[in-house]
Amino acid sequence: KLAEISTAYKMAGLGSTPAAIIQHATLPYQKQGTCEIKDIQEMALREGLAYPAIIIIGDVVKAREIVAAQHYPLHNKALKITA
């Protein structure tokens, strides 16, 4: 299906649309890759991505970069809450 999706976007003149594939989302062995939609099939092969996976297409893919650049001081910290 990736070839069909890619072709549809290219034929509509939207081949440079951001795209991502996330395999095994939220699991410790999660894998992902990002690219332009025109290159999605090649990226999936290169990154070893297969089913089950989520395909994300559009500018929302860029949100990952924005969130990754944020500083979260309590990320990966253990907290002890007492009364």
User: What is the tens place of the pLDDT at every residue in 11-60?
Assistant: 999 999 999 999 998 888 999 999 999 999 999 999 999 988 999 999 99
Q: Could you count the other beta carbons within 10 Å of the beta carbon of residue 37? A: 25
| CB neighbour burial string for 8-35, b if at least 16 within 10 angstroms, e if fewer | ebeeeeeeebbbbbbbeeeeeeeebbbb
Note the Cα 31 to chain centre separation in Å.
9
Q: Is the pTM of this model over 0.85?
A: no
